[in-house]
Amino acid sequence: MTKRCRLGVLVSGNGSNLQAILDACGAKDFPAQVQLVISNKAEAFALERARKKGVAASVVSHRDFPSRESFEDRLIAALEDAKVDLVILAGFMRVLSPRFVRHFAGRILNVHPALLPSFPGTHAIEQAWNYGVRVTGVTVHVVDEGTDTGPIILQEPVVLDAKETLESLEEKIHSVEHRLFPEAIRLFAEGRLKFEGRRAHIGEHA
């Protein structure tokens, strides 16, 4: 296998998506590896998940910085020091500035628990549930300067059944996320994504 894609993962909480990515990276043929995990919250369980796998994990709290710019400068420095090729937002609960996004242009991926452009922002699962949708889903997209507006890489629908509850829907969505996010990372790492405007074309594996 050629050189593995180096991932820097930003988290804020539980880290179940981080776990799915770490597990995927454990497979011999997976073309990426997690170089470091950064949480803006010291209590994030995601940090423990990373350390358990022997991955460098640190806390960079936005509260310790006088401005968003200085907070992001620290993130950028840590990601650059680790020579990451791709930045992964796995439940990272801070909005990134256009400056940060431009620094890693086209190299930041996010997972969103709805079929974008429906229900952007936080609480997407609950909002879709309250709206009474019959179908919702998961989106993995490239991060641009807007909120959940970047070009879509993969989407998968989740159909609500008659006995669905908010809790069961959350479970279904998370299990799709845990499959779809590593799949999108694989496509990126294998150089199979080509963008034409907003549209992602997925090429054959070389």
Binding site for ligand GRF (CB under 6 A): 13-18, 90-91, 111-113, 177
DSSP code of residue 119: S
Nearer to ligand GRF, 157 or 203 (CB): 157
Per the annotation, the verdict on 112 as an active-site residue is yes
Nearer to ligand GRF, 14 or 127 (CB): 14
Nearer to ligand GRF, 8 or 15 (CB): 15
Nearest distance from residue 115's CB to ligand GRF, in Å? 12
Whether 64 contacts 40, CB under 8 Å: no
Which residue in the block uniquely carries the two structure tokens 């080509």?
194
The H or E element that residue 103 is part of is helix 98-103
Nearest distance from residue 173's CB to ligand GRF, in Å? 7
Closest CA to 116 of 95, 146, 160, 96: 146
- Whether omega before 120 lies within 30 degrees of 0, making that bond cis, reads no
Nearest distance from residue 177's CB to ligand GRF, in Å? 5
Give residue 42's identity as a one-letter amino acid code. Answer: A
Whether 115 contacts 135, CB under 8 Å: yes
CA distance 55 to 165: 36
Nearest distance from residue 17's CB to ligand GRF, in Å? 3
Catalytic residue among 62, 103, 112, 174: 112
Nearest distance from residue 204's CB to ligand GRF, in Å? 29
C-alpha distances in Å from residue 64, one per residue of 67, 88, 93, 165, 177: 9, 22, 16, 39, 31
Closest CA to 3 of 167, 189, 151: 189
Residue with CB nearest ligand GRF?
Answer: 91
CA distance 11 to 9: 6
- Positions marked active-site: 112
